[in-house]
Structure 1
Amino acid sequence: MKKTILFVLICLSFITVTNAQKNQPINIISYNIRLNTNADGVNAWPNRKDNVKALVKFYDADILCVQEALPEQFDYLSENTDFDVVGVGRDDGKRKGEFSAVYYNKNRFVKKDGGTFWLSLTPDVPSKGWDAALNRVCSWVRLYDKSNKKEFLVFNTHYDHVGVQARIESAKLLKQKIQEIAPKLPVVFTGDLNVTPETEAISTIKSFLTDTKEISIEPPYGPDGTFNAFKWDSPLKNRIDYIFVNKAFKVQKYAVLSDSKDQRYYSDHLPVFVRLMF
């Protein structure tokens, strides 16, 4: 009898461990890293780039989605790391202009597909849409997770900071494109959307995806706002950076990370962190 009970307990332990191994969490960070410009003075990229990279490493990011990365920033973030990356410059579809790039751990994930489209009426070519001030893109990647033996997609974008109509139309286009590219697979959508949660540009996304902050199993951590303007005393009320998922994921943790050093933030935005499980 004792041997039977022991055998059952061993089997249950094996099943528990096996199931845990099959559902390994995925840590994702979305981060507007602020472009490299001398106009930022003491907050310019050369003075904070090591802190940005250290933050990504400390939080064990499996996937990093960035906005506003110029070519030299795009390159730096993958140097001496386990990251591979998908993304193009928004001005020429190659190396010119800002990237909305997706970095992923190449030891864990295998790229199956990927690409970039522009937030405009001509999404297949470099272009500016509606009343936008600048070209805007969405870069995406389809990954196979070797740990969980599942495929999923990550989309990353940066809405225009001026065009109200452009943000509304961009959301509609993104809904169409995401549903075309990933009609059945798990989806993560990240970005600096330059709008607060009550706007139409957000409600359009929430019509088919869920805000990770709203479904986090653990209480959301950190400030509500994500924009600090490099001000140490910022009230951090404006939430304009997001991570959304479809129903294929559950959200274990959500946080806005207010890490700093010497009373300085690492960017004029705070990164958004989530821990997801299939």
Structure 2
Amino acid sequence: MTKNLYLLLVGLCLATATFAQKNQPINIITYNIRLNVASDGINAWPNRKDNVKALVRFYDADILCVQEALPEQFDDLLANSNFDVVGVGRDDGKRKGEFSAVYFNKDRFVKKDGGTFWLSTTPDVPSKGWDAALNRICSWVKLYDKANKKEFLVFNTHYDHVGVQARIESAKLLKRKIQEIAPTLPVVFTGDLNVTPETEAIATIKSFLIDTKDVSVEPPYGPTGTFNAFKWDSPLKDKIDYIFVNKAFKVQKFAVLSDSKEQRYYSDHLPVFVRLYF
């Protein structure tokens, strides 16, 4: 090997290593963890929580977005973890009701801003919107990534399970709010949207954000559907849980994770996982 060729190869290796150091991936999971109700029996939260936490650790989640977390579940996910968290209960804006919380690796990310708004015509106060059966919220956080030296935002929500119009109007509200809060920065939007991809509520989101499944560099992994109803033999056809991004991100991997133990899923939804690069 000539000296010039050797130096060229060394230079390329150093450049690649430098790029890798400056552009570290971000692993994100969105997960409807199913609220804690005793009537779920063997599938109640106390029998699942260790498996949920083990899954999050195994997949090295830098950011975890959850839906349906009651206060004790909100606390359980935070305990003995390297996470900090943003989120409030949807019923009083404090600790009452379900959370749509965003957990983030506190060693890597610095919180710059954050908040919660309600999916209603009065988004600044606890409220129920349109034909929704329940209060619904979106919690968000602006983070500084110390590894990549960049700021970005994460929004996490849970659309109503009954109100068709509420889901349509919620999507319109979210489009306005995301564009107001994050007009120029990279954006991640996650949630249990309770609608399948062909609906108007999804079309509104796709008018300004990208479904990570559609642009994953590596082929999407796992089943199509994300709702299993705690049934081991579920056909897993309906996709209702999503991760969207804007064009500031490259999606390397997308997966619907069907992890289980003793023929039981860890929730009545499957988690969605993505690996992103700026």
- Which bin holds the TM-score, normalised by the shorter protein? over 0.9
Cross-structure match for 1:91? 91
CA deviation string 1:98-142 (max 9, x = no partner): 000000000000100000000000000000000000000000000
Corresponding residue SS for 2:78:
coil
Question: Aligned-pair RMSD on alpha carbons?
Answer: 0.9
Does structure 1 residue 167 correspond to structure 2 residue 167? Answer: yes
Equivalences for residues 81-230 of structure 1 within 5 A: 81-230=81-230
Cross-structure match for 2:246? 246
Partner AA of 1:229 in structure 2: A
Using the size of structure 1 for normalisation, the TM-score is: 0.98
CA deviation string 1:212-231 (max 9, x = no partner): 00000111000000000000
Cross-structure match for 2:261? 261
Aligned-pair distance for 1:186? 0.3
Rounded to whole Å, the distance in 2 between the matches of 1:59 and 1:216 is 17
Corresponding residue SS for 2:169:
helix
Partner AA of 1:236 in structure 2: L
After the TM superposition, list the runs of 4 or more consecutive aligned residues in structure 1 that deviate by more than 6 angstroms: none
Rounded to whole Å, the distance in 2 between the matches of 1:18 and 1:224 is 37
Cross-structure match for 1:75? 75
Rounded to whole Å, the distance in 2 between the matches of 1:249 and 1:6 is 34
- List alignment gaps of at least 5 residues for structure 2: none
Aligned-pair distance for 1:6? 3.0
Corresponding residue SS for 2:243:
strand
Corresponding residue SS for 1:34:
coil
Corresponding residue SS for 2:251:
strand
Rounded to whole Å, the distance in 2 between the matches of 1:141 and 1:221 is 28
Aligned-pair distance for 1:11? 2.3
Aligned-pair distance for 1:15? 1.2
Using the size of structure 2 for normalisation, the TM-score is: 0.98
Aligned-pair distance for 1:9? 2.7
Corresponding residue SS for 1:56:
helix
CA deviation string 1:69-103 (max 9, x = no partner): 00000011011110000000000000000000000
- List alignment gaps of at least 5 residues for structure 1: none
CA deviation string 1:177-214 (max 9, x = no partner): 00000000000000000000000000000000000000
Cross-structure match for 2:10? 10
Corresponding residue SS for 1:18:
helix
Partner AA of 2:49 in structure 1: K
Rounded to whole Å, the distance in 2 between the matches of 1:242 and 1:145 is 23
